[in-house]
Amino acid sequence: MLQAIEKAVRTASEYMLTFSDPKVYEKDGHSNYVTQADLAVQQKLFTLLEPICENAMFFAEEQENACLTDDPTWVIDPIDGTHNFMRGRLHSAISVALLINKQPVYAVVANPYRDEYYTAEKGKGAFLNGEPIHVSNEPFEKALVSFGSSPYYADLAAYGVKAVGRFLQEAADIRRVGSAALDLTDVACGRSDIFFEYRLSPWDVAAGALLVTEAGGEFVMPTLDAPDFSAPNTILAANPRCLARAKEIVLSCMQ
Ligand code: LIP
């Protein structure tokens, strides 16, 4: 099953790279866009994934009125990092997860620009192009902290500014790359140690969450007792050494 999903995502990645100057549409919310490529790649993924898991539902970013049920469901972000994609910043991802009973069981995240394919099946580890990956063992004071600025939600900007200030004072440094899925793969393979964002949608994080946990990391929604992939939430991913302090900072800045 995982190999079939990866094959489908590889095909969709090649297709994504054929779009050089896609038409851009504005969506509801601050700084929120969708391109002709997002829509086309999403439709390509629907077609490629449907035969892999008969009768599975779809819960995708560019789909109207979708919802998550206990049934097997493909949770898809056809282009994560759309703003980067629009501006030619060459740092966007395709994120695909298959959820059963609302929990990720299979995950594939692709970075088409680097030909990097991150894969995981629940209970069987996480891989980058077939090689095992693992989160870092860096302590909090040496942590490289990725963050997302929740640009669609201008009311959350103040939280992010406060939290970034605290991490800059207490950890090593900050990164803002513009794709949550790739922020999560960075944590999973140890390229960074912490990632947080004050509001992300299920399709941004469902696949990356499984990659992080299968790579020995922690994925939490700090305001909830357990991750809920049915609606947007605050998210935090970290190696085990960094989680506690990172969670304290993320929560303390939400006021
Ligand atoms: C984006 C994320 C990014 C976040 C944006 C948006 P999209 O996903 O990858 O980290 O800050 O708000 O959610 O909308 O480009 O698929």
Task: Give the residue whose CA is nearest to atom 10 of ligand 1.
Answer: 180
Q: How far apart are the C-alpha atoms of 140 and 142, rounded to whole Å?
A: 5
Of 173, 195, 198, nearest to 182 by C-alpha is: 195
What per-residue confidence (pLDDT) applies to 21?
78
Q: How far apart are the C-alpha atoms of 161 and 145, rounded to whole Å?
A: 13
Give the nearest ligand 1 atom to 181 CA: 9
C-beta of residue 215 within 8 angstroms of C-beta of residue 195: no
Residues 65-115: tens digit of each pLDDT: 788 999 999 999 999 999 999 999 999 999 999 999 999 999 999 999 999
Q: How far apart are the C-alpha atoms of 104 and 73, rounded to whole Å?
A: 9
Q: How far apart are the C-alpha atoms of 78 and 42, rounded to whole Å?
A: 5
Q: How far apart are the C-alpha atoms of 202 and 12, rounded to whole Å?
A: 20
CA distances from 239 to 46, 116, 137, 218 (A): 33, 21, 7, 6
20 CB contacts (<8 Å, ≥6 apart)?
Answer: none
What b/e string do you get for 210-241 counting C-beta neighbours within 10 Å, with b at 16 or more? bbbbbbbbbbbbbeeeebebeebbbbbbbbeb
28 CB contacts (<8 Å, ≥6 apart)?
Answer: none
> Which stretches of the chain drop beneath a pLDDT of 50?
none
Give the nearest ligand 1 atom to 177 CA: 10
C-beta of residue 89 within 8 angstroms of C-beta of residue 73: no
Q: How far apart are the C-alpha atoms of 159 and 136, rounded to whole Å?
A: 26
What per-residue confidence (pLDDT) applies to 65?
76
- 178 CA distance to ligand 1 centroid (A)? 6
Q: Which amino acid is at 185?
A: T
Of 80, 150, 196, 234, the one to substitute when testing ligand 1's pocket (max ligand atoms within 8 A of C-beta) is 80
For residue 120, the Cα-to-chain-centroid distance in whole angstroms is 14
- 36 CA distance to ligand 1 centroid (A)? 17
DSSP state of 211: H
Q: Which residues line ligand 1 (CB under 6 A)?
A: 61, 77, 80-82, 148-152, 178-180, 197, 200, 204
Phi, psi of 243 (to 5 degrees): -60, -50
DSSP state of 172: S
What per-residue confidence (pLDDT) applies to 28?
78
Of 109, 92, 63, 79, nearest to 206 by C-alpha is: 109
pTM of the complete model: 0.96
Task: Give the residue whose CA is nearest to atom 6 of ligand 1.
Answer: 81
Strand partners, 117: 110
Residues 112-129: tens digit of each pLDDT: 999 999 999 999 999 999
Q: Which amino acid is at 69?
A: T
Give the tokens for residue 87: 């501006």
What per-residue confidence (pLDDT) applies to 24?
77
Query: In this structure, how many other beta carbons lie within 10 angstroms of the beta carbon of residue 203?
Result: 27
What per-residue confidence (pLDDT) applies to 35?
84
Could you give the residue numbers annotated as active site?
A: 61, 77, 79-80, 82, 204
